[in-house]
């Protein structure tokens, strides 16, 4: 595994044609082969695999057209009746932005395949909105009405906004448009759910959404994450949702990479010591931006299970590195590093195969039910996660 500065390269060989778990006593997690090649450095991976060449631009345009054909505008008929041509993200007075949805006759397997190949960047906002489940979301006031109200969290939000994605041009200028829209979303969320209020983990998520959609849509997506994707329990006081997911993650690690799981346990490092930021911010500042986008594509399709499987994939990649660490400090340093997959495609294809595996599904479902039962009995408070 190549390392440069505080970044680690995750070899693609770990995710190509491999079983789900690594042998507990394997010497190395890399594929055994007669011809071994040196692991590439972080700059080599980023430069070679993620630059846009003319062929890439042509392929991206072709993929964009395919996604456009998979979408339909649910407000199209109303617009024709009114004689208006609405566009996604436009917000005429007293109306919501136009929403897009996936065609009802769309083949599910084709949808999954294309999501895991990566959604074209210019379509991401629309597709995320269409993929995200909006059932059972709470009603809330309009942005204009929410901005008329005070929140007890406004001072802390104002302090945190300039620290969020501070090097991105959209959020670089103090009290610029980007920072103001980010404040608007976070302020509104703190009012929509008084129990959760505001926590710092909301900032990177809201910022990522704002890079791909208008403010009102970003707020609606935050509400969907909160109400439907389980982030209410992730954000509220005590982070009970995180503790439940840590319990599931421990089980996945024991199944997929038992040596690493044993090493972490020996050093007393529970998932809460290294995976809190991973899950709460959806891998912000852990994976490169382009990789994080691919993870988000899968997350909006399959939900929180994707985050657990990606976390498992990262620990799986670090298996040999963890076994060489001599102290819990060294081990924690490895887990705190940013991680650069040698191939995003290899990582996401492994995640896709894992999330469809019956054994993986069984582990996730069984341990979530077990944790729920422990919560009812009150025994979950003594469990080290």
Band of residue 249 on the pLDDT scale cut at 50, 70, 90: very high
Residues 80-109: tens digit of each pLDDT: 444 433 333 333 333 345 457 888 888 999
Domain boundaries, the chain: 143-228, 238-382
Q: Name the one residue in this structure whose structure tokens are 């680690």.
A: 8
Domain at 143-228, CATH from 1.20.1250.20, 3.40.50.1820, 1.10.3720.10, 1.10.8.270: 1.10.8.270
Band of residue 36 on the pLDDT scale cut at 50, 70, 90: very low
Dihedral sign of CA atoms 193, 196, 202, 205 in order? negative
Q: Name the one residue in this structure whose structure tokens are 């210019």.
A: 122
Q: What's the CATH code, domain 238-382?
A: 1.10.472.80
What's the mean pLDDT in 113-121? 94
What's the mean pLDDT in 121-130? 92
118: its two tokens: 């990566």
Q: What are the CB-based long-range contacts (under 8 Å, 24+) for 234-239? A: 234/201, 234/279, 234/280, 235/193, 235/196, 235/199, 235/201, 235/202, 235/280, 236/193, 236/195, 236/196, 237/195, 237/196, 239/276, 239/280
**Cβ proximity of 300 and 128 under 8 Å:** yes
- pLDDT > 70 fraction of the chain, expressed in percent and rounded: 80
What is the pLDDT at residue 83?
41
On the question of a common fold for 143-228 and 238-382, the answer reads no
What is the pLDDT at residue 3?
54
Dihedral sign of CA atoms 253, 255, 256, 262 in order? positive
**What's the pTM?**
0.84
202: its two tokens: 């909301």
Q: Residue 25 pLDDT more than 50? A: no
The whole-angstrom separation of Cα 270 and Cα 264 is 7
Dihedral sign of CA atoms 343, 54, 125, 214 in order? positive
Q: DSSP letters of 172-213?
A: -STTSHHHHHHHHHHHHHHHH-TTT---TTHHHHHHHHHTTS
- pLDDT > 90 fraction of the chain, expressed in percent and rounded: 56
Q: Which of 74-78, 204-208, 319-323 has the lowest mean pLDDT?
A: 74-78
What is the pLDDT at residue 73?
65
What is the pLDDT at residue 77?
44
């Amino acid at each position: 595994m190549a390392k440069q500065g505080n970044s680690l390269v995750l070899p693609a060989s770990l995710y190509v044609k491999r079983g789900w778990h690594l042998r507990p006593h394997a010497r190395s997690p890399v594929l055994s082969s007669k011809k071994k090649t040196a692991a590439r450095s972080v700059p080599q991976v980023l430069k070679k695999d993620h630059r846009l060449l003319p062929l890439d631009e042509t392929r991206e345009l072709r993929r964009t057209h395919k996604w456009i054909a998979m979408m339909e505008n649910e407000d199209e008929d109303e617009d024709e009746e009114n004689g208006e041509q609405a566009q996604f993200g436009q917000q005429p007075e007293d109306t919501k932005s136009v929403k897009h949805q996936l065609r009802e006759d769309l083949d599910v397997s084709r949808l999954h395949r294309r999501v895991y190949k990566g959604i074209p960047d210019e379509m991401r906002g629309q597709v995320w909105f269409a993929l995200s489940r909006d059932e059972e979301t709470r009603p809330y006031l309009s942005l204009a009405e929410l901005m008329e109200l005070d929140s007890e969290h406004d001072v802390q939000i104002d302090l945190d906004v300039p620290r969020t994605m501070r090097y991105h041009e959209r959020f670089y200028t103090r009290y610029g448009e980007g920072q103001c829209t980010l404040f608007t979303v976070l302020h509104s969320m703190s009012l929509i759910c008084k129990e959760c209020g505001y926590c710092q983990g909301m900032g990177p998520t809201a910022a990522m959404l704002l890079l791909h959609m208008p403010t009102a849509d970003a707020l609606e997506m935050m509400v969907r994450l909160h109400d439907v994707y389980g982030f209410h329990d992730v954000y509220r006081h005590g982070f009970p949702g995180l503790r439940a997911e840590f319990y599931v993650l421990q089980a996945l690690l024991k199944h997929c990479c038992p040596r690493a799981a044993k090493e972490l346990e020996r050093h007393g490092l529970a998932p809460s010591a290294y995976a809190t930021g991973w899950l709460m911010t959806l891998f912000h500042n852990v994976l490169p931006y382009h990789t994080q986008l691919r993870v988000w594509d899968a997350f909006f399709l399959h939900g929180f299970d994707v985050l657990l499987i990606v976390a498992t994939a990262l620990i799986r990649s670090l298996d040999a590195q963890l076994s060489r660490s001599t102290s819990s400090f060294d081990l924690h340093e490895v887990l705190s590093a940013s991680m650069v997959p040698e191939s995003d495609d290899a990582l996401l294809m492994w995640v896709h195969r894992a999330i469809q595996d019956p054994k993986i599904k069984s582990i996730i479902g069984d341990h979530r039910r077990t944790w729920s039962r422990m919560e009812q009995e009150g025994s979950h408070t003594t469990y080290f996660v």
